[in-house]
Amino acid sequence: MTDMVRKQIYLDRRLERLLKERCARVGRSQAEVVREALESALGPDAESAELRAWYELKLFFDERSIMKSEETQRRWTREEAYEDGA
């Protein structure tokens, strides 16, 4: 085992329940699951994955912005959306 540092954190009830459910499902301790989650969120691959997601989102919006207006305009009116009287 590598050199470990003890940390204490506070979780709300929802996160505590989710953590317990995940641990039961994967058969690992709470400490292991928390370390894995932190590594995933903060580790060396986290930044590159986040950047890839931003580039993909930017590409989507760039492609969407050059579409012809007839391709992106809705085919219904606001009044039609409320025809059922709601």
- List, for residues 38-83, the tens digit of each pLDDT value: 888 887 777 777 788 888 888 888 777 766 656 566 677 778 778 7
| pLDDT at 86 > cutoff 60 | no
Asked if residues 20 and 30 have their Cβ atoms less than 8 Å apart, the reply is yes
The whole-number average pLDDT for the span 19-42 is 92
Question: How many domains, the chain?
Answer: 1
How high is the pLDDT of residue 68?
61
The predicted model scores a pTM of 0.52
Say how far apart CA 77 and CA 17 lie, in whole Å: 45
How high is the pLDDT of residue 11?
95
Range of the domain at 47: 13-69
Asked if residue 22 belongs to a domain, the reply is yes
Asked if residue 48 belongs to a domain, the reply is yes
Asked if residue 7 belongs to a domain, the reply is no
Q: What is the Cα gyration radius of the chain?
A: 23
